[in-house]
């Protein structure tokens, strides 16, 4: 009718239910997360993060790049030696010696990464498409000799010619690869295009697909969701979305979106999200924004009057899940958008009583104060304001009644 | 699809000064509000929401001052729909108002403790008040994405009949993914050709994707905020929407994007919320490359790892030397310092730099690289001189 038939059809397919439901997380905080400019984890931190990810229930950990050698290799060896429940994967270029380094580290899975876009093949690799396919064959062959689980990563898949990408996927599958990682390396897809491209590969080649998305245009999560709706079964995430440039699909956002928007419960212990997020924030030297989706400290903090008062009556009005689901707490704060209801509630919490008329007057005083201070008030400041206000009132009443006599 | 979008006029209404400030703990001063409004005006944002007059006299004073300034964008004030609120809103000298009313049964029951009929009546009376005051109005359906479609269309119908300026769909609790957003907006537009505006929250990290999906489905206006600042997780970020429209959909809104970093920094300071270095579009890390493969790729051709030039959003490209660096970065860095290294030298210095970076748990400053170089070179000449002396 308005020329939207294809999108409508896709949206209908993608919109209602999500199949398959056996979606697995391959977390790459330790690889792509650390690879981002400026981030270095200590080996002890890497080991701790790996343990936490295993405990929380991820299926696979991308532990690092063995061929970097030295410290990196030591960390990966230490992680494989933990004998965790989850699979441990090492990242490799499509180079046999890289894979040998992975094998030396004792991983059970390898990602073999090579660009599939002409831009990268010409300007980065300075090779040909045939060379790319041959590199895939040689390296997958080598890894399979050692019975490793093999993911072939199509780097810059989003800018790859679809015909060649299909050939790439088929080559990977025919050589025995277990899955293909679809890398939206530059974060340039929107969910509709993601859906169409992934569905095409899935339908035509039929290989297992993993989504690796970037957040350059703020669409990492939406594209990961679009990918699984199109049939991808693995998602490459990082805690807090840590990763190159604007980062990757955030582990906690993806898991919660799947649970609360798509009705797929992954058996991940979400109550540990805040702890995990805080740990990675500190280890990566990057603060955790108070507004960060799912785990930000301010998400269940209410200030504006209507929203706060309504949430107090029934949290479902403004929350799809509760703070306890992700290890946070609900809080009312008093500031420039506060009013009678929230102020009365807050004072009651602090052990003070106030009438409606007084609350209205005090709210005005407090809003003015917040505006002056340019922030919400501390509890002690609220109590102090309350005491001065009530004191002044009492004095006024007393002098009025004196005057009356 | 993109071709079709290209011809459509897409509007942006920025709510940094209204819902942005509504974020818990954020307070803008009068000067900051005026400065932000000016900046948005200067880069070419067509419409902005500047505040909620019913909050109190101070807020109204600020709104009046912005209204009296020479800012050219279309200014809106915001209020919960009621005739009394419209009365207050009209005192600020702005003739455009957003009438917000919840339409979901859950909100109607808990927030208003009323029923659907009351909602329609309340809206009707508020519209009448707005019309009496000769105000233009947007009808905003709060929690629209959890609202029974039939009732939502009824509300929309009322807005349309009474000649609202636009109808706003609020995904108040981030209930939708992009596909469901598309279906909802598409369904609505199969029933009406009224201009639809979409307001998103970022609770599951999908505000930008949902906004873009609604544009694809035929919505004509998006509500944004600088850096996505807003209640809870915030809103769709102005800079993400503008750049996504430009680079993913080929729609150029004619906004001066080179000021994006500057505005983000200003709002960050005014709101006491840092711009994360990884913030999409405007974070300083977005054009920083450390890992060998990426840095090497960018040196060969920036298009390998960048969609647009950093200058387009007011940023600069940086090559960072750290744990993941490769020899090409070292060669390039020293060339910048005016030193031509051989491949062997670059490899040696790379090994030393990586080790130091792991030790320090951070990338290296340029100075530190020079120290490494001096120590490294210092050892070689001494040995050579000794050799020479022998000869």
Domains of chain B, by residue range, sit at: 2-271, 284-387
Q: Does A217 touch chain B (CB under 8 A)?
A: yes
Total H helices, total E strands in chain A: 16, 10
What is the assigned CATH class of domain A18-284? alpha beta
Label residue B387 by pLDDT band (50, 70, 90). Answer: very low
Instruction: Give the integer Cα–Cα distance in Å for A125 and A116.
Output: 10
**Contacts of residue B359, Cβ cutoff 8 Å, sequence gap at least 6:** none
Compute the nearest-CA separation of B285 from chain A (Å): 5
Which residues in chain B have Cβ-Cβ distances shorter than 8 Å to A246? 278-281, 283, 285-286
The 8-class DSSP code of residue A403 comes to: H
Per-residue model confidence as pLDDT tens digits over B161-199: 999 999 999 999 999 999 999 999 999 999 999 999 999
The answer on pLDDT for B225 being more than 50 is yes
Cite the DSSP H helix spans in A261-315.
273-284, 305-313
pLDDT given at position A1: 38
The 8-class DSSP code of residue A16 comes to: S
Compute the nearest-CA separation of A87 from chain B (Å): 24
Which residues in chain A have Cβ-Cβ distances shorter than 8 Å to B80? 306
**B183 near B208, Cβ under 8 Å?**
no
Which residues in chain B have Cβ-Cβ distances shorter than 8 Å to A218? 205, 207-209, 228, 236-237, 240, 244, 280-281
CATH 3.20.20.70 domain range(s) in chain A: 18-284
A199, two tokens? 């569905």
Contact B287 A245 (CB under 8 A): yes
Chain B: residue whose CA lies nearest to A313: B110
Compute the nearest-CA separation of B270 from chain A (Å): 9
Which residues sit opposite B76 in a β-bridge? B49
pLDDT given at position A257: 96
Instruction: Pick the closest to residue A115 from A91, A99, A94, A143 (CA basis).
Output: A94
Show pLDDT as tens, one digit a residue, over chain A (405 residues): 345 566 666 666 666 667 667 899 999 999 999 998 889 999 999 999 999 999 999 999 999 999 998 899 999 999 999 999 999 999 999 999 999 999 999 999 999 999 999 999 999 999 999 999 999 999 999 999 999 999 999 999 999 999 999 999 999 999 999 999 999 999 999 999 999 999 999 999 999 999 999 999 999 999 999 999 999 999 999 999 999 999 999 999 999 999 999 999 989 999 999 999 999 999 999 999 999 999 999 999 998 888 899 999 999 999 999 999 999 999 999 998 889 999 999 999 999 999 999 999 999 999 989 988 988 999 999 999 999 999 999 998 888 776 544
Contact A120 B291 (CB under 8 A): no
What DSSP assignment string belongs to B227-244? GG--STT-BEEHHHHHHH
Instruction: Give the integer Cα–Cα distance in Å for A31 and A90.
Output: 9
B216, two tokens? 């694809």
Label residue B215 by pLDDT band (50, 70, 90). Answer: very high
Q: Does A397 touch chain B (CB under 8 A)?
A: no
Cβ neighbour number for residue B193 with a 10 Å cutoff: 10
Contact A261 B207 (CB under 8 A): no
Compute the nearest-CA separation of B97 from chain A (Å): 18
Contact A246 B286 (CB under 8 A): yes
Q: Please say whether the dihedral angle defined by the alpha carbons of residues B56, B57, B58 and B60, taken in this order, is positive or negative.
A: positive
Query: What topology is assigned to B284-387 in CATH?
Result: H-NS DNA Binding Protein (4.10.430)
- The interface residues of chain A toward chain B in range 21-80, judged by CB-CB distance below 8 A, are 34-38, 40-42, 65, 68, 70-72
Across the interface, which of A124, A190, A261 has its CB nearest the CB of B248? A190
- pTM for this entry: 0.92
Chain A: residue whose CA lies nearest to B23: A303
Which residues in chain A have Cβ-Cβ distances shorter than 8 Å to B187? none
Compute the nearest-CA separation of A8 from chain B (Å): 7
Compute the nearest-CA separation of B279 from chain A (Å): 6
Cβ neighbour number for residue B337 with a 10 Å cutoff: 12
Contact B107 A218 (CB under 8 A): no
Label residue B384 by pLDDT band (50, 70, 90). Answer: very low
Element (H, E) at A391: helix A379-404
First-last CA distance in chain A: 82
pLDDT given at position A243: 96
Per-residue model confidence as pLDDT tens digits over B1-51: 334 677 789 999 999 999 999 888 888 999 999 999 999 999 999 999 999
pLDDT given at position A10: 66
Across the interface, which of B182, B189, B236 has its CB nearest the CB of A7? B182
**Contacts of residue A344, Cβ cutoff 8 Å, sequence gap at least 6:** A354, A356, A359
Compute the nearest-CA separation of A120 from chain B (Å): 6
**B48 near B97, Cβ under 8 Å?**
no
- The interface residues of chain A toward chain B in range 302-331, judged by CB-CB distance below 8 A, are 302-304, 306-307, 310, 313-314, 316-320
Which residues in chain A have Cβ-Cβ distances shorter than 8 Å to B23? 291, 298, 303
What is the assigned CATH class of domain B2-271? alpha beta
Instruction: Give the integer Cα–Cα distance in Å for A143 and A107.
Output: 11
Contact B204 A294 (CB under 8 A): yes
Total H helices, total E strands in chain B: 15, 11
The 8-class DSSP code of residue A117 comes to: S
């Amino acid at each position: 009718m308005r020329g939207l038939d294809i999108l409508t059809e896709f949206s209908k397919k993608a919109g209602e239910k999500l199949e398959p439901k056996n979606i697995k997380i391959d977390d790459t905080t330790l690889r792509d997360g650390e690879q981002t400019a400026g981030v270095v984890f200590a080996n002890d931190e890497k080991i701790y993060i790996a343990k936490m990810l295993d405990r929380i229930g991820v299926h696979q950990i991308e532990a690092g790049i063995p061929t970097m050698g030295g410290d990196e290799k030591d960390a990966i060896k230490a992680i494989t030696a933990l004998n965790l429940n989850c699979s441990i994967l090492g990242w490799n270029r499509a180079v046999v010696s890289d894979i040998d380094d992975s094998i030396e580290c004792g991983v059970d899975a390898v990602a073999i990464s090579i660009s599939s876009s002409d831009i990268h093949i010409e300007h980065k690799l300075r090779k040909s498409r045939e060379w790319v396919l041959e590199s895939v064959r040689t390296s997958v062959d080598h890894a399979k000799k050692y019975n490793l689980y093999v993911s072939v990563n199509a780097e810059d898949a989003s800018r790859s010619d679809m015909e060649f990408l299909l050939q790439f996927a088929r080559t990977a599958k025919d050589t025995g690869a277990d899955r293909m990682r679809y890398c939206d390396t530059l974060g340039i897809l929107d969910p509709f295009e993601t859906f169409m491209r992934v569905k095409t590969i899935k339908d035509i080649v039929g290989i297992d697909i993993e989504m690796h998305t970037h957040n350059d245009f703020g669409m990492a999560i939406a594209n990961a969701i679009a990918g699984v709706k199109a049939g991808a079964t693995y998602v490459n995430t990082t805690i807090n979305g840590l990763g190159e440039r604007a980062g990757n699909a955030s582990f906690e956002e993806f898991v919660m979106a799947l649970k609360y928007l798509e009705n797929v419960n992954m058996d991940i212990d979400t109550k540990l999200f805040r702890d995990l997020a805080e740990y990675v924030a500190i280890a990566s030297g990057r603060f955790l924004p108070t507004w960060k989706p799912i785990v930000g400290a301010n998400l269940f903090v209410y200030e504006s009057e209507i929203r706060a008062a309504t949430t107090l009556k029934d949290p479902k009005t403004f929350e799809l899940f509760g703070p306890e689901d992700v290890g946070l707490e609900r809080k009312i704060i008093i500031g420039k958008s506060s009013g009678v209801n929230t102020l009365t509630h807050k004072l009651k919490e602090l052990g003070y009583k106030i009438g409606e008329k007084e609350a209205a007057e005090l709210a005005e005083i407090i809003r003015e104060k917040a505006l002056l201070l340019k922030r919400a008030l501390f509890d002690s400041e609220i109590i102090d304001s309350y005491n001065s206000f009530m004191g002044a009132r009492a004095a006024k009443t007393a002098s009025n009644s004196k005057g009356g006599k | 699809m993109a071709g079709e979008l290209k011809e459509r006029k897409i509007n942006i209404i920025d709510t940094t000064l209204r819902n942005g400030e509504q974020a818990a703990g954020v307070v803008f001063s009068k000067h900051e509000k005026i400065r932000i409004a000016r900046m948005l005006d200067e880069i070419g944002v067509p419409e902005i929401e500047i505040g909620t007059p019913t909050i109190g006299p101070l807020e109204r004073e600020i709104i009046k001052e912005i209204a009296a300034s020479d800012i050219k964008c279309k200014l809106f004030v915001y209020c919960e729909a009621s005739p009394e609120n419209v009365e207050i809103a009209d005192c600020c000298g702005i003739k455009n108002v957003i009438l917000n009313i919840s339409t979901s049964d859950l909100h109607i029951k808990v927030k208003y403790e009323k029923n659907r009929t009351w909602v329609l009546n309340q809206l009707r009376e508020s519209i009448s008040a707005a019309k009496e005051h000769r105000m233009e109005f947007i009808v905003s359906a709060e929690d629209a994405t959890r609202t029974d479609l039939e009732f939502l269309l009824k509300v929309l119908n009322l807005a349309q009949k009474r000649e609202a300026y636009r109808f706003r769909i609020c995904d108040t609790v981030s209930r939708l993914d992009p596909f469901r957003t598309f279906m909802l907006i598409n369904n609505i537009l199969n029933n009406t050709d009224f201009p639809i505006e979409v307001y998103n929250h970022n609770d599951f990290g999908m505000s930008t994707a949902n906004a873009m999906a609604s544009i694809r489905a035929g919505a004509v206006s998006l509500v944004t905020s600088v850096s996505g600042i807003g209640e809870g997780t915030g809103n769709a970020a102005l800079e993400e929407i503008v750049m996504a429209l430009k680079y993913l959909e080929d729609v150029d809104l004619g906004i001066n994007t080179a000021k994006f970093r500057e505005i983000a920094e200003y709002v960050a300071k005014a709101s006491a919320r840092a711009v994360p270095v990884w913030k999409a579009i405007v974070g300083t890390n977005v054009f920083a490359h450390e890992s060998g493969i990426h840095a090497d790729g960018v040196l060969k051709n920036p298009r390998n790892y960048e969609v647009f030039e950093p200058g387009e959003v007011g940023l600069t490209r940086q090559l960072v030397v750290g744990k993941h660096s490769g020899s090409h970065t070292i060669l390039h860095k020293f060339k910048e310092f005016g030193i031509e290294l051989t491949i062997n030298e670059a490899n040696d210095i790379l090994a030393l730099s990586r080790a130091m970076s792991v030790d320090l748990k951070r990338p290296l400053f340029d100075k530190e690289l020079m120290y490494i170089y001096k120590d490294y070179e210092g050892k070689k000449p001494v040995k050579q001189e000794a050799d020479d002396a022998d000869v």
